[in-house]
C-alpha cells in the first residue's frame, strides 16, 4: 500500500520538531543523534502501520550501511591519519611554512591561499580558521589592513579544503550520501571549484591590502611555539607523499591512508621522539598535548606543553579513530531513518512530489540544491543534511541517466558552502566568534562560498548548449550497482 503525503512527511516534520527542541536545550551532536533516532522511531511506527515489521526496517537500513561501508572505512582511516600526521610533525610543518611564506604585500590573496593549502592538507575548515586564520586576521588588525575582507578570505580558503580535501569529513559524507566514489566526486567538483578559485584570486588581488607598516607578532608567537615543540624537518612531508603515491597507483584510499599513517608513526617515534605507546594511543584516541614532554628544540627555551598558546592546542589536539565515532553514529542513525522511510515507500513518494515539475537537468540540480540549502538552514548539520538529501535524490539521478557525482557535487555546493554564510548556523557562529568578525561583515568577502552555488547552477543551466560539466552515468551500468565499492 502506497503511503499518503502526510505519512511520508511525518518523520521529516518530527525531525524538525525534535530539532527545535534540541536547540532549546542547547543543541550538540548528542541531541542530534536523539533527534534522528526519534524521527526514525516515528518512521518505524508508520512502517508497522503499513504491515511492515522491524525486520524489514533493519534489513533496509543494513543494506544502506553495507553500500557505503568502504567509505566508512575511509572515515576511520582519516581519523587515524590526522592524529599520526600531528605526531610526525607533518601538520605543524605545513602550518609553519604556510605562515612563513605569506607575502604581507598581498595579504588577502595569501590569506586565501595559505588557509586553502592548510585546509586541503588537514581537511578541516574549523581547524584551519582557528589556527592560521586567527593569526592572519590578527596580523591584518595589527597592520591596519581590512579585517572583514581578510576574515572572508580565510573563510573562503578554509571551505575550499572542506569541500575538496579527501581528508574532510564533509567531502566523504557527500560521497556517502550520494553513493558516489570519493575521488570521482572530488574530480567532478573541479568544474565549480576551479572557476570559484580563479574568481577568488582575481577579487582578492584587485582588492589587496596596503603594504603593512609593522610585523605580525601573533604569527611569530605561533611559529616560535611550533618550532619549540616539533622538529620541523622536511622529512615530515613523506606521509603526504605516501598518500599521493597510493592515490596515483589507484590503491584503495583506506589502504593508502593507513600506509601513510604507519610512516607517520615511525617518524613520530624516530624524529619527534615520542614513545611507541603514545604513538599508538594517539592513533586510536587522538593526539594529546600531554604527550609533548617539556622541550626546547634547537637550543631554545624549554616549553611546557600545558602553557602552550590555545591556537597550538587547537592545531594538535585532534584526530584518532575515536574522533570519527560521533560521525559514524550519526551515519547509522541517519540510515536507520532512511531505511524505515524507504521501507514503506515514503522516500519514493517525496522524491516524486519534489521532482513532479522537473523537466531539465537544471531543474534537477536546482531542486537538489534548494533541498540542501533549506535543510542546512533548519538543522545546521551538514553531515545529516547530505545523508538525508542524498538518499532522497539518488534514484532521480539514476533514472535520468546522470552519474551520482552530479548529486554529490550539488550537495557540497548547496550545503558545505552555504552554511558559513547563514549567521544562525553553527559553522557561521564558529567563524564569527573565532575570527572576531560578524558573519554579515565577512560574508561578501567569502567569495568561494557564494561563487560555488552560482557556478553550479550556471553549469546546469548551460548544459543543453555546452554538453559539459554534467556527467552521464557510465554506459551499460549504474552507480547504484557499483556504489562506492569500485575504485574510481
**Residue 269 CB-half CA count within 13 A:** 14
Strand partners, 402: 472
Question: 464-472 long-range CB contacts below 8 Å, 24 or more apart?
Answer: 464/360, 464/361, 469/191, 470/361, 470/365, 470/402, 470/406, 471/188, 471/402, 471/403, 471/405, 471/406, 472/401, 472/402, 472/403
Please, what's the b/e burial string for 101-115 (b: 16 or more CB within 10 A of its CB; e: otherwise)? ebebebbbbbbbbbb
Q: What is the pLDDT along the chain (488 residues), one digit of tens a residue?
A: 567 888 888 988 888 888 888 878 876 667 878 888 998 899 899 988 888 888 888 888 888 788 778 778 877 887 888 889 889 998 888 778 866 776 667 889 989 998 998 888 877 787 788 777 877 887 676 566 788 999 999 999 999 988 998 888 889 999 988 988 888 999 999 999 999 999 999 999 988 745 544 445 556 777 788 888 888 999 999 998 888 788 667 788 788 889 999 999 999 999 998 989 999 999 999 998 888 866 555 445 566 767 777 777 877 887 889 988 887 887 788 888 888 888 888 877 877 777 777 888 999 999 999 888 887 876 667 888 898 888 888 888 988 899 999 999 999 999 999 999 988 777 887 888 888 888 889 999 999 999 999 999 999 999 989 989 999 988 654 444 333 322 22
Closest listed residue to residue 412, CA positions, set 158, 170, 128, 180: 170
Q: What would the grid cell of residue 13 be?
A: 516534520
Q: How far is the CA of 127 from the CAs of 7, 161, 317, 427, in angstroms?
A: 41, 11, 10, 12
Q: How is the chain split into domains, by residue range?
A: 5-60+325-482, 70-323
Query: Which H or E element spans position 226?
Result: helix 217-229
Amino acid at each position: 500500500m502506497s503511503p499518503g503525503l502526510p505519512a511520508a512527511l511525518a518523520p521529516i516534520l518530527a525531525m524538525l520538531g525534535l530539532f527545535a527542541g534540541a536547540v532549546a536545550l542547547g543543541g550538540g551532536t548528542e541531541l542530534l543523534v536523539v533527534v534522528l533516532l526519534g524521527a526514525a522511531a516515528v518512521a518505524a511506527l508508520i512502517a508497522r502501520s503499513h504491515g511492515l515489521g522491524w525486520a524489514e526496517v533493519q534489513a533496509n537500513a543494513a543494506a544502506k550501511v553495507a553500500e557505503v561501508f568502504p567509505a566508512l572505512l575511509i572515515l576511520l582511516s582519516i581519523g587515524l591519519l590526522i592524529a599520526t600526521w600531528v605526531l610526525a610533525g607533518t601538520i605543524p610543518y605545513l602550518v609553519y611554512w604556510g605562515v612563513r611564506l605569506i607575502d604581507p604585500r598581498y595579504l588577502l590573496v595569501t590569506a586565501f591561499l595559505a588557509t586553502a593549502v592548510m585546509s586541503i592538507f588537514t581537511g578541516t575548515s574549523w581547524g584551519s580558521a582557528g589556527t592560521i586564520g586567527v593569526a592572519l586576521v590578527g596580523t591584518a588588525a595589527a597592520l591596519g589592513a581590512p579585517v572583514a575582507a581578510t576574515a572572508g578570505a580565510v573563510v573562503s580558503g578554509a571551505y575550499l579544503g572542506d569541500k575538496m580535501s579527501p581528508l574532510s569529513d564533509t567531502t566523504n559524507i557527500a560521497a556517502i550520501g550520494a553513493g558516489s566514489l570519493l575521488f570521482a566526486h572530488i574530480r567532478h567538483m573541479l568544474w565549480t571549484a576551479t572557476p570559484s578559485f580563479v574568481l577568488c584570486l582575481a577579487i582578492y588581488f584587485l582588492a589587496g591590502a596596503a603594504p603593512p607598516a609593522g610585523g605580525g607578532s601573533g604569527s611569530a608567537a605561533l611559529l616560535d611555539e611550533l618550532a619549540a615543540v616539533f622538529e620541523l624537518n622536511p622529512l615530515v612531508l613523506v606521509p603526504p607523499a605516501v598518500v599521493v603515491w597510493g592515490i596515483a597507483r589507484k590503491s584503495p584510499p583506506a589502504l593508502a591512508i593507513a600506509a601513510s599513517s604507519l610512516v607517520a608513526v615511525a617518524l613520530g617515534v624516530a624524529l619527534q621522539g615520542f614513545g611507541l605507546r603514545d604513538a599508538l594511543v594517539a592513533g586510536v584516541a587522538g593526539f594529546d598535548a600531554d604527550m609533548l614532554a617539556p622541550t626546547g628544540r634547537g637550543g631554545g627555551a624549554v616549553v611546557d606543553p600545558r602553557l602552550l598558546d590555545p591556537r597550538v592546542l587547537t592545531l594538535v589536539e585532534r584526530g584518532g579513530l575515536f574522533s570519527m565515532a560521533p560521525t559514524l553514529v550519526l551515519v547509522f542513525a541517519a540510515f536507520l531513518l532512511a531505511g524505515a522511510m524507504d521501507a514503506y515507500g515514503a522516500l519514493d513518494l517525496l522524491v516524486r512530489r519534489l521532482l513532479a515539475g522537473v523537466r531539465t537537468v537544471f531543474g534537477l540540480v536546482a531542486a537538489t540544491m534548494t533541498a540542501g540549502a533549506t535543510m542546512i538552514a533548519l538543522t545546521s548539520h551538514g553531515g545529516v543534511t547530505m545523508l538525508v538529501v542524498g538518499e532522497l535524490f539518488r534514484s532521480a539521478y539514476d533514472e535520468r541517466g546522470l552519474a551520482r557525482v552530479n548529486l554529490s557535487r550539488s550537495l557540497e555546493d548547496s550545503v558545505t558552502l552555504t552554511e558559513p554564510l547563514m549567521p544562525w548556523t553553527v559553522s557561521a557562529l564558529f567563524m564569527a566568534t573565532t575570527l572576531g568578525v560578524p558573519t554579515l561583515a565577512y560574508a561578501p568577502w567569502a567569495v568561494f562560498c557564494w561563487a560555488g552555488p552560482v557556478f553550479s547552477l550556471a553549469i546546469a543551466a548551460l548544459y543543453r548548449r555546452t554538453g559539459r560539466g554534467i556527467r552521464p552515468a557510465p554506459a551499460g551500468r549504474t552507480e547504484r550497482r557499483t556504489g562506492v565499492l569500485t575504485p574510481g
